[in-house]
Amino acid sequence: QQQVKQSPQSLIVQKGGISIINCAYENTAFDYFPWYQQFPGKGPALLIAIRPDVSEKKEGRFTISFNKSAKQFSLHIMDSQPGDSATYFCAATVNQAGTALIFGKGTTLSVSS
């Protein structure tokens, strides 16, 4: 049973466009929802995170929108750039010592120039 569902699996966006990746979760005990970015041959790196008591969080061109009642959250990348081409993972966790990140299956984003 997949606890965090992510879509789409892959995404092609033109330079300057908006990239949107969606995730849904099941477990209401989750209290933190981070997004990780992974470039080929590298480890994932935290991009931005949100708590469920906030509906939106913005950091530069990256915005998380959170809908607690629908148990859904999404990542928006504004003015997408070729350098944004990477795999993006949504995740969920309970912020306790040693608790794991539960990842979605990832979205491979390609931004064409």
Partner 1 sequence: DTAVSQTPKYLVTQMGNDKSIKCEQNLGHDTMYWYKQDSKKFLKIMFSYNNKELIINETVPNRFSPKSPDKAHLNLHINSLELGDSAVYFCASSRQGTGHEQYFGPGTRLTVT
Candidates 17-25, 33-41, 58-66, 68-76; binding stretch for partner 1 (CB under 8 A): 33-41
Q: Is 28 in the site for partner 1 (CB under 8 A)?
A: no
> SS3 string of the chain?
CCCEEEECCEEEEECCCCEEEEEEECCCCCCEEEEEEECCCCCCEEEEEECCCCCEEEECCEEEEEECCCCEEEEEECCCCHHHCEEEEEEEECCCCCCCCEECCCEEEEEEC
> Of 24, 44, 62, 111, which one interacts with partner 1 (CB under 8 A)?
44
Q: Is 105 in the site for partner 1 (CB under 8 A)?
A: yes
Q: Is 34 in the site for partner 1 (CB under 8 A)?
A: yes
Binding site for partner 1 (CB under 8 A): 32-34, 38, 41-46, 49, 87, 89, 91, 93-103, 105-106, 108
